[in-house]
Amino acid sequence: MPSRTPTTKNKRALPPPTASERAFESALARVRAGREPVAVGADAPIRSGDAGAFVERAFARSAEFLRDRYASIGEASQFHTKLAGVSFEGRQDVIAGLRVGVDVQLQRQPENQFDSNAIAVLFGALQLGFINKGIAKHIAPLIDDGARYQARIESLTGGAPSTSSGQAHQRKRGVNVYVWRDAAASIAQRAVQSAELRARVRTTGDDLEDAVRRALIGDGHPHKAQLDVLERVEGGSNTLAVLGTGRGKSFCFQYPATLRALRGGGKTLVIYPLRALANDQYEALLRKLDPFGLRIYRANGSISHDEREELFEALQEGEWDIILATPEFLEFHRQEFTGSSAPRFVVVDEAHHLYESKHRAAYGRLGETIASLGNPQVLALTATANDDAFAQIVRDLKIGAWVIDPTVRENLHVTDARGTRDKAEYLHDLFRNGDKGIIYCNSRTEATKVAEALRKKLGNRVMFYHAGMPTPERHDVERFFRNGELQAVVATSAFGEGIDLPDVRHVVLYHLNFDFTEFNQQAGRAGRDGGEAKIHLLFGEQDRAINEFIIDREAPTLNVLRAVYRGVRGIAHEGEVRMSYVDIARTLELDKVNERTVSRALHIFEDEGLVEIAEDDAGRYIRFRKVDGKVDLTQNERFAEGEAERESFKRFCELVLNAKSDALERIINRPIYPSKVELLR
């Protein structure tokens, strides 16, 4: 990397580095050092040795992490807010000359001495104030990553004389703005930054393969089975890889996909069976690959309106590198993956679903759908392929080569504690000897509560981890745990995905998982250094109803959809409803329906042309459209994904709640492969 310091022949100072230059220099430095990528612009981590102080501070803020009113603002396509800091530096006089409806500009100020997330609001060259600090914390990283927002003045307040205590005074002027995300501009900016980063990658003189490998697996090196898979992929063969849990299936596609993107070799589409799994993998992939300038998207019915809009803009322009999708999304939107958006490499993860999910029409036609994209190269990955599943995968995906890794992770052992009543005491007994472990919970609130209880026993060597925590804090938890300064982390599902944690002696499944893939992945994070490790099953039959309740709220059934449609239509005035999703849910008082259920239902209705959801000067509205004939909601992509989650959970429960522990251990620690097939072809 050339130095930015002027030479003696050229005394003129160089301009400050651009955002993309800073991003690449930071990313490359971490890759060279073999460290974990950290979000650009994140707060400086606490020094090694300060784990106790970090834990004290984090627990003091635990309620804030759970109750952050702006936690989901980054998912919003638009929002309204009052400007902060309008009373300083003569801004009251500037505001006096404004009028409602004029456009204003948002300017990131990462070097602001008071707040590294600062977003100033300008009218031309005149500064009006700042975006609320709580909002800025969430959208500043998005802006730094290429998102673009526009804004206009919505209303002006104050300025008129008022009286207080019998004395007249001038009321302080205020500014309310309407902010919206510009999907087209975000795509364009992301493309520019990506091009700059790629150009710098190609001109650094570093070993690109080594840099990518380090970003994906740190100081580790691919084992023989992974190398065998990469050899077949590089040779252009449609390949099936059967590797057990923890044997690095993801590396087999992430490595070639990254190199192809950086070298202009085409786009990669990755198919996952469930949207929750795709979302978890998306977060892990961003962590590892985004610093290289890759344009990564997820494609499923759970993403927000603005993310969906940006995704379709990227598809239309062909401005993407990796997309993680469900088979239902691909089935319903296959035309978007043509022309400049046709993938050259398609990865089918958890490929055994082609055999096990025959009831899902999208899986039944997946081979045909992939072929219709121009016959891209295919890599299928699974840990479970018996004779029948293997035969169907090979047939449907036109597989010509395969690699079967028969390795058994004999160091993994399942401890059956299903139905344990006093889980707190169990955890205390388990960790009192100082062993290292991860405890997986199903919610942020539960992870925090369990961590608080265990911390009372073990002190500041216990920490919680969930997506509501700011990125710098999450990176600190990972670093302290990896270094051994934290003994136990109580976490939601994403912890451990995509980071190097070799010496985990215990994995505790505190709650029942939602699907077998998540169960297998979490269990497989134990003992990756080859040392003896245990997986403790603490969940029980009582957890089933809780998970079913959560799924029903997140994925409304056909009967619930009909009830919501009738209910919302019943409270409409002249065909419109102007209420929040929370107020709609409270008004309808339907069983298993909250604001998220209402949101999911209304977006399904919007997809099918039953309603229009938009916003005007008076706020958001839901407008019912005239419909001719019957609408089949079962053909909706979002509905189909929800039904897949419900069916997957049912099948998972039948296995994991009833199978003996030794049977579950065999599933976790070894692959399932056909009996009369050569291991390599």
pLDDT tens track for 206-240: 588 888 998 898 888 999 999 999 999 999 999 99
Given this model, what pLDDT does residue 243 score?
A: 96
Structural Rg of the chain based on CA atoms: 26
User: In whole angstroms, what is the distance from residue 422 CA to residue 431 CA?
Assistant: 15
CATH number at residue 583: 1.10.10.10
Given this model, what pLDDT does residue 327 score?
A: 96
- Do 507 and 448 lie in one domain? The reply is yes
CATH number at residue 432: 3.40.50.300
Which is nearest to 27 in space by CA: 37, 15, 17?
37
Given this model, what pLDDT does residue 157 score?
A: 82
Picking from 340, 372, 404, the residue at the C-terminal end of a domain is: 404
User: In whole angstroms, what is the distance from residue 141 CA to residue 110 CA?
Assistant: 10
- Do 480 and 514 lie in one domain? The reply is yes
User: In whole angstroms, what is the distance from residue 497 CA to residue 203 CA?
Assistant: 31
- Do 575 and 498 lie in one domain? The reply is no
Picking from 133, 149, 181, the residue at the C-terminal end of a domain is: 181
The structural domain count of the chain equals 4
SS3 547: helix
> Is residue 382 a contact partner of residue 629, using CB atoms and an 8 Å limit?
no
> Is residue 500 a contact partner of residue 217, using CB atoms and an 8 Å limit?
yes
Given this model, what pLDDT does residue 173 score?
A: 86
Give the pTM.
Answer: 0.80
- Does the residue 505 lie in any domain? yes
User: Phi, psi (5° rounding) for residue 545?
Assistant: -65, -35
> Is residue 442 a contact partner of residue 466, using CB atoms and an 8 Å limit?
no
- Do 240 and 314 lie in one domain? The reply is yes
Picking from 113, 147, 181, the residue at the C-terminal end of a domain is: 181
- Do 221 and 345 lie in one domain? The reply is yes
- Does the residue 503 lie in any domain? yes
User: In whole angstroms, what is the distance from residue 81 CA to residue 83 CA?
Assistant: 6
- Does the residue 522 lie in any domain? yes
- Do 340 and 377 lie in one domain? The reply is yes
Given this model, what pLDDT does residue 510 score?
A: 97
- Do 531 and 573 lie in one domain? The reply is no
Burial class (CB in 10 A: 0-12, 13-18, 19+), 45: middle
- Does the residue 69 lie in any domain? no
Given this model, what pLDDT does residue 192 score?
A: 76
- Do 365 and 260 lie in one domain? The reply is yes
- The residue type at 613: I
- Do 261 and 369 lie in one domain? The reply is yes
Handedness of CA 94, 100, 102, 105 (dihedral sign): positive
- Does the residue 436 lie in any domain? yes
Which is nearest to 128 in space by CA: 160, 93, 91, 166?
91
Given this model, what pLDDT does residue 393 score?
A: 97
User: Phi, psi (5° rounding) for residue 633?
Assistant: -70, -20
- Do 620 and 556 lie in one domain? The reply is yes
Range of the domain at 387: 205-404
- Do 363 and 476 lie in one domain? The reply is no
- Residue-wise pLDDT for 603-639, tens only, equals 999 999 999 998 776 778 999 999 988 899 998 999 9
CATH number at residue 134: 3.30.70.2330
Q: What is the mean pLDDT of each run of 10 residues along the chain (681 residues)?
A: 35 44 47 39 46 93 85 77 87 88 94 92 93 90 86 82 51 86 77 72 70 88 96 98 93 96 91 92 84 88 85 92 96 95 97 91 94 96 96 97 97 96 96 95 95 96 90 87 95 81 95 93 93 97 93 94 96 94 94 93 95 80 92 93 94 95 94 94 96
User: In whole angstroms, what is the distance from residue 134 CA to residue 381 CA?
Assistant: 42
- Do 128 and 159 lie in one domain? The reply is yes
